[in-house]
Amino acid sequence: MTNRQDHTIPLDRYLAVLKRNEVLARRLADYEHQSMRIELLSGRAFDVPRLRKGGPMSGALQTGTVPANAAPIQAPLARIAAHWDPESLPCVGVVMEGADVASVQALLGLAGELNAGAFARILFLVRCLTLIPLLSRYGFACQSVGTASVGEIGASVAPRYGLDQVRDLQSGDVLWQSKSS
Amino acid sequence: MTGVVTVLLIGRDDPAAAPLAKLLRGRGLNLTVTEAVADAMGDTPIWVADQVTFLMNAAQIGPGEDTCDVLLRPGLDAGRALGAIPLAIKRALQMRGELARFWAISEASAQALVHEYGIPVETLVPYDTSTQSIADLDISIARGTVRPINLPDSALLLQKVNLARLASRFKLTSTETGEGGDLVTLANESALAKVARAPLILFIVPSGPGLGHMSRSLAIAGQLSDYICDFIVYNDAAYLAADAKYRTYHRQSATQIGADSDSWRAWETAALSGYISTERPAAVIVDASHIDPYIVDALSDPGAEDTALIWVRREMWRADRQARSAVNGLHADLVIVPGEIAKDVRVSQARQDLSQCHEVSPVIFDGPQPPMTRRQARRALGVGRGRVCLVSLGAWQPDRVRDEIIAAARAHRVRLAWARSPLAAVAQGDDGIGDQVSLYPLNRYLAAFDGVISAAGYNSFHELMLRFSGPVLFLPVDQSGLDDQVARARFAAQSGMADMNTGNDVSTDLASFFGRFFGASSQSRPLQPENGAEAAARLIDHHITTRAGRADD
């Protein structure tokens, strides 16, 4: 007869680990949020070395035929927020037009709300590619949409990420909504 | 494309789909390829790639032989009751009248199918075809493989190849009769089809910790002046391709967004396949350590038969990366190896069996602007007078090494400028290390510096060895997943081109290095006759025009 060891974890210890993870996740999110705030408030958050001056516009790669049996991609919860089950949160597309003062202010506001209480996984739909290094540094999903219309963006991106709606960063207005929502 | 669009209805993973699509396009049909008959509405003409797919969709196909053509294929009845499919087709014809016109690929198959089905069957390829080839490939339906006749150990999965693409470079053969022989006939015939193609090239730049893949891609694209270049970029510095005036699509890798890799690949395959069938690029060029399977999958789809896959693959990978990088490389039509100065210690590569492989001189991205003079560069970077050393160590900057660099520079009265990645955050406030500069491309600004301390990645190493005359100290990064920086730096040190230190007792080497700032540098550098980007562009153009020329023969 083998000597079987009990590998179960006492409930109180398990709950303590969960609690500690929650506290650490919260602290990390606060730290990342503070770093992002400092960058955004510096006025140089989107400064990148350029090959030429001019607006680096981008194209919007179409999703293509929706692949059979492929689940939508789960956009991540950014590192400035913490949640015990991020995949339970809806994925919302947010159109960011540029790095002007109003857009940066709106981004600061959105980051603050996400840090205070994660309510969605954000997919940034950017018109300008110089926005991507900063957004990606803080763990946001981004997709270049070029000059595509909001209707085209919704139709193309929604199946890939399971988006329910697309909103404007500055106004918060719903620009596109899936027919099922 | 305008005019009447014919729907080509194919079965899943059908190896005949791509050559059939190309053959039909070559005969003037304006095609859209689909697995779902729902895409065909009303009187839309339909071509069906096999009898099983036809039967599955017969109820939705309108009557009239002018609107439907069906390719009957021998061997597709396997696993079914003998005569079941011919019987089902006869019943469909009896119930719904003249539903379709039926074809076989070869004369031999047509005769057999007339006998088996009891219906008129025309021949799609009425004569045996052959093309000039580099090597013969044997197609085996039974084994599901494509293998070079003279290299029997190098087999590709039939499901993963685009037979029409292969047929444009190789003579395809098969020892099998029936479906195997017919596939070969169809694919060889498709290689002769003339299909209009855009002078367009797509570069795919993978994600990575640095800008090496991006820099080499930009360098080569800059030399392809007869082509329009598009970029799909998985690196966050995608804006650089847009800066260089290329149409740029930014994507994120599965790793970047923590996505399930299977699901991510399915979506990327769909997007790339859609791009290729719409834009019809002459080539997809991938500068990467390995070719991701989604690229191979997209290029096996019908619509990609005229698109070459070109792999730009630098050498000197660490041994732990060799095996992984070879996977999927067999699918490349052309492999271009950017050269290494450190040739003598280069880790030798197994050449790709089915690919033409060419080595070029080191590929360096000089950027669209000319290099700056010392005064211009110092002004642009805000660097004042006195001796200045650039420190470019990437993410690898252990505190101990950093502190020793600062102390040694102070002792020699040399100012330091720390290179910041274009992707890193701008420093906030004074962190005690001195000036930070963000440079791209590096060699445009090199005249500003009296010496450089650097890691030994491909780009930094070759830019410094071929574009900089001052003293250089390499502190190579020795990490798995990267190229063999230690071997590269050691070669430079042994050849008298630079100093190197692997992180032990760095203070002695720093004292020697900074001492070189105050006398003539004893380090000597090689001359580069030509930027490898120019030779790479010539190879790409030659490969594309040769493929097109074969169809014109």
Closest CB to A51: pick one of B236, B243, B264. B243
* Cβ–Cβ < 8 Å for B536, B338: yes
For the cut 50, the answer to whether the pLDDT of residue B351 exceeds it is no
As a whole number of Å, the CA-based R_g of chain B is: 29
The CATH architecture assigned to B200-364+532-552 reads 3-Layer(aba) Sandwich (3.40)
Pull the structure tokens for residue A77: 């919860």
Say if the Cβ atoms of A134 and B256 lie within 8 Å. Answer: no
Q: Helices marked H in chain A — which ranges?
A: 11-41, 101-116, 132-137, 150-161
Q: What is the SS3 string spanning B478-541? A: CCCCCECHHHHHHHHHHCCCCEECCCCCHHHHHHHHHHHHHCCCCCCCCCCCCCHHHHHHHHHH
A93 part of a folded domain: yes
Mutate to test the interface with A, among B215, B252, B256, B431 (most CBs of A within 10 A): B252
* ipTM rounded to 2 decimals: 0.89
Restricting to A residues 46-85, those with a Cβ less than 8 Å away from any Cβ of B are 47-52, 54, 56-67, 69-76
Residues B480-506: tens digit of each pLDDT: 566 788 889 999 999 899 999 876 788
Residue B404 burial (C-beta neighbours within 10 Å; 0-12, 13-18, 19+): middle
B396 within 8 A of B453, measured Cβ to Cβ: no
* Tens-place pLDDT, residues B21-76: 888 887 778 888 888 776 555 678 889 999 888 888 877 776 654 578 899 988 77
Q: Which amino acid is at A140?
A: F
pLDDT score recorded for residue B326: 54
Integer CA distances (angstroms), B340 to A95, B16, B310, B347, in order? 44, 41, 19, 11
Whether A51 is in a domain gets the answer: no
Interface of A with B in 98-127 (CB under 8 A): 126
Res. B207: pLDDT tops 80 = yes
A136-153: per-residue pLDDT in tens? 999 999 988 888 888 888
Q: How many helices (H) and strands (E) does chain B have?
A: 18, 23
The 3-state DSSP class for residue B54 equals: helix
pLDDT of residue B119: 85
Residue B262 has a CB neighbour count (10 Å cut-off) of 11
What is the pLDDT averaged over residues A66-90?
89
Q: Name every residue whose Cβ is closer than 8 Å to that of residue B170 and which is 6 or more positions away in sequence.
A: B131, B133, B134, B135, B136, B137, B148, B354
Please give the Cα distance from B19 to B302 (Å, whole number). Answer: 8
CA distance A16 to chain B (A): 27
Q: What is the pLDDT of residue B132?
A: 40
CB-based contact B426 A39, cutoff 8 Å: yes
Q: Are B263 and A73 in contact (CB under 8 A)?
A: yes
On whether residue A2 sits in a domain, the answer given is no
Q: Which residue of B has its CA nearest to A76?
A: B257
Burial class (CB in 10 A: 0-12, 13-18, 19+), B403: exposed
For B183, the token pair is: 């596939």
More confident of the two residues B478 and B506: B506
pLDDT band at A88 (very low <50, low <70, confident <90, very high): very high
The architecture CATH gives domain B5-123: 3-Layer(aba) Sandwich (3.40)
A40 touches chain B (CB under 8 A): no
Residues of B in contact with A56 (CB under 8 A): 239, 242-243, 248
Q: Which of B250, B262, B428 sits opposite A58 (nearest CB)?
A: B250
- In this prediction, what percent of chain A has a pLDDT beyond 90? 54
Q: Assess A152–B contact: CB distance below 8 Å, yes or no.
A: no
Residues of A in contact with B243 (CB under 8 A): 50-52, 54, 56
Interface contact flag, A67 B440, Cβ < 8 Å:
no
Judging contacts by C-beta atoms under 8 Å, the chain B residues touching residue A142 are 250, 252
* Interface probe with A: pick from B204, B243, B278, most Cβ of A within 10 Å: B243
CA nearest to A159 within chain B? B267
Pairwise CB contact (< 8 Å): B428 & A39: yes
> Could B237 and A133 be called an inter-chain contact, meaning their C-beta atoms sit closer than 8 Å?
yes
Contact between B480 and B318 under an 8 Å Cβ cutoff? The reply is yes
In chain B, where are the structural domains located?
A: 5-123, 136-190, 200-364+532-552, 374-518
CB distance B76 to B179 below 8 Å: yes
User: Which positions in chain A touch B236 (Cβ < 8 Å)?
Assistant: 132-133, 136-137
- Average pLDDT over chain B reads 82
The single residue listed with the structure tokens 């260089």 is B244
Share of chain B above pLDDT 70, in %: 83
> Residue A181's pLDDT is what?
64
Residues of B with CB below 8 A from A86's CB? none
How many Cα neighbours within 13 Å face the side chain of B143?
13
Contact B496, B522 (CB under 8 A): yes
Q: Which candidate in B250, B381, B431, B444 is best for mutational testing of the A interface (most A CBs within 10 A)?
A: B250
- Quote the CATH superfamily of domain B374-518: Glycogen Phosphorylase B; (3.40.50.2000)
At B227-245, the pLDDT tens digits run 999 999 999 999 999 988 8
Q: Note whether residue A52 is domain-resident.
A: no
Please judge whether A63 and B267 are an interchain contact, meaning their C-beta atoms are less than 8 angstroms apart: yes
pLDDT (mean) for A65-81: 86
Which residues in B lie closer than 8 A to residue A35 (C-beta atoms)? 425
**Nearest chain A residue (CA) to B242:** A56
Q: Got the DSSP string for B302-335?
A: TT-TT-EEEEE----B-HHHHHHHHTTGGG-SEE
Decide if B239 and A132 are in contact by the 8 Å CB cutoff: yes
How far is residue B294 CA from its own chain's centroid? 11
Q: What are A3's two structure tokens?
A: 């000597």
pLDDT, average across residues B201-219: 92
Using a CB–CB cutoff of 8 Å, tell me whether A138 touches chain B.
no
Per the structure, the complete domain to which residue A117 belongs is given by 9-45+57-65+72-181
Determine whether the interchain pair B249/A73 forms a contact, defined as Cβ–Cβ distance below 8 Å: no
CA distances from B57 to B52, B99, B336, B475 (A): 9, 12, 45, 65
Same topology between domain B5-123 and domain B374-518: yes
What does the alpha-carbon distance between residue B406 and residue B395 come to, in Å, rounded to a whole number? 17
By DSSP bridging, strand B156-157 and strand B145-148 are antiparallel
Q: How far apart are CA B147 and CA B354, in angstroms?
A: 9
